[in-house]
Amino acid sequence: MVISDETRSKIDAEIGNFPQRRGALLPALHLVHKDHGYVSTDVAKELAEIFEINPIDVMEVVSFYNLFYDRPQPRHHAHVCTNLPCSLRGARSLLRRLESHFGVRAGEATPDGKLVLGHEECLGACAYAPMMRVDDTYFEDLDFEKAKTILDGLE
């Protein structure tokens, strides 16, 4: 078994919150991402058993949502918001400078597997632009130096 007993019992508790079993699929996917960082073929098979659906039904949902992944991920995700309010305040210049600092293009991972640098659509921080999301945390009112310090400091 790839999914731990502890996670299985959390998934069971989520299933109890919904009138139909499948309602807990997104919560379950969030839980397995916490443990594994992505949904492997084995995880998909086990989730399919739990939810009494086919593995392809699990992967179809995984592929639809930006926060779910079907392959191993770097340790961190750093996404600069490049939607209009942030772009008007220099978000794309910030992203370009971070790209050259890390030697990667947006969407690529650093060779040491530390982080993937990306751009993302509006994150709901429009008045505090430019901003980026690093995993679950927002960093707002950024400039290049601040963003670089935050990302360099990641483990």
Partner 1 sequence: MLKVPYVTGYLSEHFGDDGFGTLSGYEARGGYRGLRQALDTSPEDLIELLKSSGLQGRGGAGFSAGMKWSFMPTDSDRPKYLVCNADESEPGSFKDRILLERAPHQIVEGILIAAWATGAEKTFIYIRGEYAFPADQVDRAVAEARERGYLGAKVMGKDFAHEIVVTRGAGAYICGEETGLLESLEGKKGLPRKKPPFPAQYGAFGMPTTVNNVETFSHVPHIVCKGADWFRGFGTEKSPGTTLFGVSGQVQRPGLFELPLGTPLDEIIFEHAAGLLEDRPVKGVIPGGMSMPILPANQLDVPMANEFLRERKTMLGTGGIMVMDDTTCMVRVACVISYFFRDESCGQCTQCREGTGWMNSIVERIERGAGEQSDLDILLDVAGKMEGQTICAFSDAAAWPIQGLLRHFREDFEAHIRGKKCPFPGSFEL
Binding site for partner 1 (CB under 8 A): 17-20, 22-27, 29-30, 51, 60-61, 64-68, 82-85, 87-90, 92-93, 96, 121-129, 133, 136-138, 140
Provide φ and ψ at 31, rounded to 5°.
-65, -45
Give min distance, CB of 147 to partner 1, in A. Answer: 16
> What is the C-alpha to C-alpha distance for residues 145 and 142, in angstroms, rounded to an integer?
8
Strands (E), the chain: 76-81, 115-120, 132-134, 137-139
Give min distance, CB of 86 to partner 1, in A. Answer: 8
The distance from CA 120 to its chain's CA centroid, rounded to whole angstroms, is 11
> What is the C-alpha to C-alpha distance for residues 65 and 78, in angstroms, rounded to an integer?
17
Residue 108 vs 140, nearer CB to partner 1: 140
Residue 75 vs 92, nearer CB to partner 1: 92
Residue 41 vs 93, nearer CB to partner 1: 93
